[in-house]
Structure 1
Amino acid sequence: MYMKEIYTDSTPSTLHTFIQQNPLGVLTTAIPSSTHPLLQSTHIPWVLDIPPPSTADNSNAVKLRGHIARANPQCAAILDSLATQPESILPTEVLILFTSPYHSYITPHFYTTTKPLTGKVAPTWNYAAVQVYGRARIYNPRSEGELGEQASMFLDTQLRDLSAHCEGEIMGYTTTGTRDTHTHNNPEEKPCPRAWTVDEAPDAYINILKKNIIGIEVTVTRMDGKFKMSQERGEGDREGVLKGLDGMGGDVARGVAGMRWTQNRVPPPASEDARPRHPTFGFVVTLAGPARVPQKQQPKGLKADIGAGLTQDGLLLKKLRNRPRRSDRARLSSSPISPCPSCASHGRLLIPDPSFLHRPYKKLRTPKLPWQVPAPKLRETGNHHSNTMKSTTLLSLAWAAQSAYSLSIHERDEPATLQFNFERRQIADRSRRKRSTASADLVNLATNLGYTMNLTLGTPGQEVSVTLDTGSSDLWVNGANSSVCPCTDYGSYNSSASSTYTFVNDEFYIQYVDGSEATGDYVNDTLKFSNVTLTNFQFAVAYDGDSEEGVLGIGYASNEASQATVGGGEYTNFPEALVDQGAINWPAYSLWLDDLDEGKGTILFGGVNTAKYYGSLQTLPIVSIEDMYVEFAVNLTAVHLEKNGNSVSVNNSATQFPIPAVLDSGTALTYIPTSAAASIYEAVGAQYLSEYGYGVIECDVKDEDFTFLFDFGSFNMSVDISEMILEASSDMTDMNVCTFGLAVIENEALLGDTFLRSAYVVYDLGNNEISLAKANFNPGEDHVLEIGTGSDAVPKATGATATGAAATSTASSDKSDKESSATVPRSQIVSLVAGVLVGVFLVL
């Protein structure tokens, strides 16, 4: 800032108090990068740490603590810059700017003395701000070892302190549930919400939030305040400014009018209705009276750059949400946020608690989700997914009003079912194409694949290709003018070219764990596929994002991205729309991915195909969380390994099993806890690459007689090791190095495509059940049965057995023999990978 002496105040106590009462500061970084802008800024709420007066060393300097969302591009630039900074301190200083909500345009008409006499006046703006420079230390909770533990503890403290400060100082709430009369000058102790604490949120929810943010601690090197309140004018002009602003009405104008620079020693005007909005700090803030806007005159739908709205009770500034790479949207609120009159009338700036400001846009409440895996790098679904689960988890069962039945299958002449064929195809890896090196692509080629299918949208129909995902719940496609298009390979949607298009809202935002995202509008239009037409179907059109291909999410409706928006709620998504419009009778579908070599599969809505599995379907209940069904998760009790029919010792630690295991077609690999994974890696000779979050293995191990047995308590599901070994790039495969399809995760399990290819899976959203059988890779003629709504047992099913014989029968296949590639000793795998990566760096 330009610091003119008459406006400047560097008194520490004044600046500290200003920051404490206006904790939302703009963090600006200047980080040279080939993939990110040099200058980036983000609004962040901060906690100010003031050392005792007796301490003067740098370790006890004034510090600011904050946190920033990992998906924020500024965060990506910060983390990239730390690659060469072993102490996790940014190489350049950062700037943080704090401003007061009270600021206003000053018209020359307010200068009642100078203007009539000389006319030498010009308009200006009155405001107050504090700028802070300092060195920033970064706390990354995904760091390994001691650094990760320190980051976790830092974020625990940060979230608690920030929430306590905002709940107490800004909202005036107390632990007793009464108004803080000292802070808000309210002599009456009227009931108000008790101050919210972090401990009220589920631990798992907070842990997930922590995984998706990084902590920032700024050691202050310089701090200056600028309080521009017309103090350069003569007394007559100053009084004219005060009267002019007061006459404008409204809390903002009156707040500016009430600001008096302390050097003038002018006491605030007395008034019966005067109510200080802030304690004195550098300038005095008073209001001559509360803003009173008649109900009929309240603005409706008006837009304002500051995102504020006047209500009958005063100023309410509500940040609806953070939208990366889109223009800021402001909303006016027509009713107070606070639930009691005395809470709403205090006229102070309202700031959402940190769990709102920085939560993932997909709500997370599930304990022990696979998002906690340490930064896995591989993603089979390519541009829009991570190998870790991508789904939201705040779920309320869409079909709760209906009675729960067991899976019922009926044979009819014309079953009400719909079958889609999809193919496994290569997809560019969006998250890595912005990287400066090509290292990830060398080992990741096999996992940059997605199961895609074609749909048409609009009238006339516009064909798009979307990736099938059981782990999310929205259908979204790219708009024709999307920032990532032209989307030649996957198609796009042009709303202007459709006669049946209607706009719903502009609140679509979805974010996946790897930081990939899409943002745009919700719309209604006609969707066609096969011989089915869904009219007035709601889906999302993305105009900004990272991915050229869209997603067809087929999870629970309450898993939709709209659930994380302010005022958002459920809408009828794809599985529900099929039922509502009569295409199928029940919200359920079965998935068959075929084996790894075929690269195709089918999904059957409303039915099962008995030709595609062996034995009988074994039904398991979906795990509920706090009486809510949050994901397609079932209890996994152990993972076993056999070689040549003999059991191999696997450490299924009682502290890690049983655990919920999520079945997700949008995930390439299968993740299990460390104890079991370590035993298996040793037995098969795989090597874990912690930098990438997965393992490598000799390609020819797929010809050995290893079998994985996933134990669900009453039965096992078998997976041949050949389904767990994925070819990487041609360079790596030529050296007999492949990607191992089993990766490491803590406290949970995620059953991705390396598991699902060996299973026939029925996802029953209506009954909250998963049914499994051994997949048949060589099916004969289709035999399709309809899933009904009755309580009949599954036809021909014997139920889950203790031995799981039916479920573990092995499918034969007619795979042709492949020539053996040159072998490399297992001890050389890791060094070989490193050598190839170095070679690529030299070429680049």
Structure 2
Amino acid sequence: MHRYKRQLPPSEKAFQEIKLERRKFIESNLKLDKRLYIPDVLPPDLPRDEDKRAYWRSNHTITSPSTYRGAKPNLALEGHITIEGVAAAETTVRASGSNDNGFSEIAIQALQEGTLTNSDSDLIQGGLDYIIEANDIGYLCEIQIGTPAQTFLMLMDTGSADTWVPSTTCGLQACGDHTALGADNSQTFQASEQQFQVTYGSGAVAGVLATDTITIAGMTLENHALGVALQESIQFSGNDVPFDGLVGLALGKLSNQGVSTPIESLASTGLIKSPILGIALGRFTDGENNGELVFGQADTSKFDASTTQSLRVTSDDGFWQIDMAAVNVDGVEVVQGRQAILDTGTSLIIAPPADAAAFHAQIDGAIDVGGGMFSIPCTINQEITMTFGKIAFQIDVRDLLFQPLSNDLKGNCLSSISSGLIKDDLTWLLGDSFLKNVYMITNSNDLTIQLSSKTDIKGIPPPPTSLTTTVQMGLSTNTSNDNSTDSTINTTANQSNFSSSTVNRTTYLNSATFSIISALAALLAGEKYF
């Protein structure tokens, strides 16, 4: 059994040495691809269906396991780290998925073929179809750039704040076979001499800043600043990478480029009333994709407003970070009083090492396989909930499985909850494995996040216990958490324009502020991330 020992934060000198060493390791290891851990164990071969469910764009060895034995620890009850005043959930939103048949065969096929699944959502004003990559590996949208307009398929990332596409001068060798932008194919393209570089944990891009016309969900920004890459690492330039570039949806202060994010520009130009994003991620194994990303408002048809929890952003570094009251397994509280960063650009969930160990100690048959990863039975049907405000949101059991470890789809799978130190031993990173289970609204003006159950998931009050009181679905505006407000949804927020000049980015320009991409790659390298 691996022992997780907490250590004091390193000195600044030690931090820089760790960072340099990590960077050299990551850049030399091509398995750390697209922020994902792809084990040496290949997925089982299944018959390939030539009739794709969606359109195509044209052109590891496991270490010796150590099983958990003995009593299962409950860190919250053992006094690991608790915060007084954390209230028990009053309502649980339950999921309906099942793993009785093990890991999905169609999910394996989608992973093998790199299928892209279009959304069939009825879009509202400001909405984009959220396209699923493979078996929920990533979530992509199409935008238009240049004159005449070209369509770019972009990774939409709430975990970073930089937007970039390949330059036409980059070439196939440096940027791969992706749609590119430059003066030779856009009459409105204007390059600058200002260089930019963004270093992610699993790769990097470098180039120059430019301006051009960008259209997002029918709303056109003229002379909008973005990066055009002159060099991309293999994690982005590979021909098997389906997306052309990346749109940063975090708060602007996280930007390395030092320019306004698209959501900021849409608000400051009056194209949207407020810098609000409404985010609904689809799930491949549901058999349909109703994913949608909305700029400027929330799609009220996609969530149950009676379950909405509004939480204030708790960090000033640009991440969408909020209070997470508790994590429970089968009603047993594993941890409480944590922080959570919500990132659509990361597939998995990353927990601090001690929390990840405690969590998997509650999972029947879980095994620590090293490298920050755990195996769990592919037939797991335990109830996992994460509590925000007064609502406990259950994670669909299908979202607990990352990838099977053998041809036996009812055998062992990699857990979608992994171990890594993001900021400290209180902070979790919640990627798509969690976000598929909620409707998320971000508001850059109010610095709030709202989480709600989706309309196809009904809230069910939990049975009364000594720690929980059953209430009706209507939520009280009185809460014991200072960072949680009532459930009223304000999709217009402040009517005044959001000026990008009010965002202070100067402290981020000369260093690559770490992104969630870095965190996942670092943990897979077996290192801590500070």
Q: What's the TM-score, normalizing by structure 2?
A: 0.61
Query: Per-residue CA shift, 1:750-791, capped at 9, x if unaligned?
Result: 111111111111111111111111123479xxxxxxxxxxxx
Letter in 2 for 1:715: I
* Distance (Å, rounded) in 2 between the aligned partners of 1:539 and 1:582: 19
* Distance (Å, rounded) in 2 between the aligned partners of 1:660 and 1:716: 15
* 1:675 to partner: Cα distance: 3.8
* Distance (Å, rounded) in 2 between the aligned partners of 1:800 and 1:596: 38
Which residue of 1 is the match for residue 198 of structure 2?
510
* Distance (Å, rounded) in 1 between the aligned partners of 2:153 and 2:451: 28
Letter in 2 for 1:423: I
Which residue of 2 is the match for residue 770 of structure 1?
449
| Closer, same or farther: CA 605–571 of 1 in aligned 2, 3 Å | same
Instruction: Confirm or deny: 8 A CA contact 2:276 2:298 kept in the other structure.
Output: no
* Distance (Å, rounded) in 1 between the aligned partners of 2:261 and 2:278: 17
* 1:467 to partner: Cα distance: 0.4
1:424 to 116, 132, 136: 132
Letter in 1 for 2:309: Q
* 1:600 to partner: Cα distance: 5.7
Query: Per-residue CA shift, 1:254-285, capped at 9, x if unaligned?
Result: xxxxxxxxxxxxxxxxxxxxxxxxxxxxxxxx
Which residue of 2 is the match for residue 586 of structure 1?
274
State yes or no: 1:686 paired with 2:366: yes
* Distance (Å, rounded) in 2 between the aligned partners of 1:800 and 1:530: 37
Query: Per-residue CA shift, 1:651-694, capped at 9, x if unaligned?
Result: 42xxxx52321001111111223444323323322222223x22
State yes or no: 1:498 paired with 2:186: yes
* Distance (Å, rounded) in 2 between the aligned partners of 1:589 and 1:425: 21
Q: Give the alignment of 1:238-387 within 5 angstroms.
A: 383=34, 385=35
Q: Give the alignment of 1:37-56 within 5 angstroms.
A: none
* 1:695 to partner: Cα distance: 1.8
User: Which one has a larger percent helix, Structure 1 or Structure 2?
Assistant: 1
What secondary structure sits across from 1:213 in the alignment?
helix
Query: Per-residue CA shift, 1:154-192, capped at 9, x if unaligned?
Result: x84x93xxxxxxxxxxxxxxxxxxxxxxxxxxxxxxxxx
Letter in 2 for 1:771: Q
State yes or no: 1:760 paired with 2:439: yes
Query: Per-residue CA shift, 1:528-578, capped at 9, x if unaligned?
Result: 24322111011111111121331111111121112xxxxxxx322201111
Which structure 2 residue ranges, 5 or more long, are not aligned? 38-122, 238-243, 459-473, 488-530
* Distance (Å, rounded) in 2 between the aligned partners of 1:503 and 1:671: 38
Query: Per-residue CA shift, 1:407-462, capped at 9, x if unaligned?
Result: xxxxxxxx994001121114xxxxxxxxxxxxxxxxxxx67x22111122111112
Letter in 2 for 1:424: I
Query: Per-residue CA shift, 1:565-606, capped at 9, x if unaligned?
Result: xxxxx3222011111232211011111113352456111111
Q: Give the alignment of 1:413-812 within 5 angstroms.
A: 417-426=125-134, 449-484=137-172, 490-514=178-202, 516-546=203-233, 547-548=236-237, 549-562=244-257, 570-597=258-285, 598=288, 601-614=291-304, 615-624=306-315, 628-642=316-330, 647-648=331-332, 650-652=333-335, 657-684=336-363, 685-691=365-371, 693-701=372-380, 704=381, 706-728=382-404, 731-732=406-407, 734=409, 736-746=411-421, 747=425, 748-777=427-456, 798-799=476-477
Instruction: Confirm or deny: 8 A CA contact 2:349 2:418 kept in the other structure.
Output: yes
* Distance (Å, rounded) in 1 between the aligned partners of 2:349 and 2:384: 12
Letter in 1 for 2:429: L
What secondary structure sits across from 1:518 in the alignment?
strand
| Closer, same or farther: CA 210–593 of 1 in aligned 2, 3 Å | farther
* Distance (Å, rounded) in 2 between the aligned partners of 1:630 and 1:556: 5
* Distance (Å, rounded) in 2 between the aligned partners of 1:778 and 1:713: 18
* 1:728 to partner: Cα distance: 4.1
Q: What's the TM-score, normalizing by structure 1?
A: 0.39
* Distance (Å, rounded) in 1 between the aligned partners of 2:143 and 2:352: 38
* Distance (Å, rounded) in 2 between the aligned partners of 1:211 and 1:484: 33
Instruction: Confirm or deny: 8 A CA contact 2:404 2:411 kept in the other structure.
Output: no
| Closer, same or farther: CA 737–483 of 1 in aligned 2, 3 Å | farther
Instruction: Confirm or deny: 8 A CA contact 1:694 1:740 kept in the other structure.
Output: yes
Which residue of 2 is the match for residue 213 of structure 1?
20
* 1:487 to partner: Cα distance: 6.6
What secondary structure sits across from 1:583 in the alignment?
coil
Query: Per-residue CA shift, 1:801-825, capped at 9, x if unaligned?
Result: 6899x99xxxxxxxxxxxxxxxxxx
* Distance (Å, rounded) in 1 between the aligned partners of 2:231 and 2:355: 41
Instruction: Confirm or deny: 8 A CA contact 1:623 1:629 kept in the other structure.
Output: no
What secondary structure sits across from 2:301 in the alignment?
helix
Instruction: Confirm or deny: 8 A CA contact 2:166 2:178 kept in the other structure.
Output: no
Which residue of 2 is the match for residue 165 of structure 1?
none
* Distance (Å, rounded) in 2 between the aligned partners of 1:535 and 1:528: 9
* 1:712 to partner: Cα distance: 3.0
* Distance (Å, rounded) in 1 between the aligned partners of 2:177 and 2:185: 20
Instruction: Confirm or deny: 8 A CA contact 2:277 2:293 kept in the other structure.
Output: yes
| Closer, same or farther: CA 801–775 of 1 in aligned 2, 3 Å | farther
* Distance (Å, rounded) in 2 between the aligned partners of 1:416 and 1:638: 34
* Distance (Å, rounded) in 1 between the aligned partners of 2:277 and 2:394: 22
What secondary structure sits across from 1:500 in the alignment?
coil
Letter in 2 for 1:768: L
Query: Per-residue CA shift, 1:492-536, capped at 9, x if unaligned?
Result: 22332211111223411000123x000001100011243221110
| Closer, same or farther: CA 580–721 of 1 in aligned 2, 3 Å | same
Instruction: Confirm or deny: 8 A CA contact 2:253 2:317 kept in the other structure.
Output: no
* Distance (Å, rounded) in 1 between the aligned partners of 2:386 and 2:436: 13
Letter in 2 for 1:528: T
Letter in 1 for 2:418: A
Letter in 2 for 1:710: M
Query: Per-residue CA shift, 1:272-310, capped at 9, x if unaligned?
Result: xxxxxxxxxxxxxxxxxxxxxxxxxxxxxxxxxxxxxxx
Letter in 2 for 1:580: S
Letter in 2 for 1:613: F
Which residue of 2 is the match for residue 366 of structure 1?
none
Which residue of 1 is the match for residue 70 of structure 2?
none
Percent identity between matched residues is 21
* Distance (Å, rounded) in 1 between the aligned partners of 2:273 and 2:142: 23
What secondary structure sits across from 1:677 in the alignment?
helix
* Distance (Å, rounded) in 2 between the aligned partners of 1:574 and 1:686: 42
| Closer, same or farther: CA 416–505 of 1 in aligned 2, 3 Å | farther
* Distance (Å, rounded) in 1 between the aligned partners of 2:30 and 2:326: 25
* Distance (Å, rounded) in 1 between the aligned partners of 2:478 and 2:391: 6
* 1:213 to partner: Cα distance: 2.2
Deviates most, 614-623 or 517-526: 614-623
* Distance (Å, rounded) in 1 between the aligned partners of 2:410 and 2:190: 55
What secondary structure sits across from 1:637 in the alignment?
strand
| Closer, same or farther: CA 617–591 of 1 in aligned 2, 3 Å | same
Instruction: Confirm or deny: 8 A CA contact 2:311 2:389 kept in the other structure.
Output: no
Query: Per-residue CA shift, 1:364-385, capped at 9, x if unaligned?
Result: xxxxxxxxxxxx9997xx53x4
Which structure 1 residue ranges, 5 or more long, are not aligned? 1-142, 160-205, 216-357, 361-375, 388-414, 427-445, 563-569, 780-795, 808-844
* Distance (Å, rounded) in 2 between the aligned partners of 1:482 and 1:800: 56
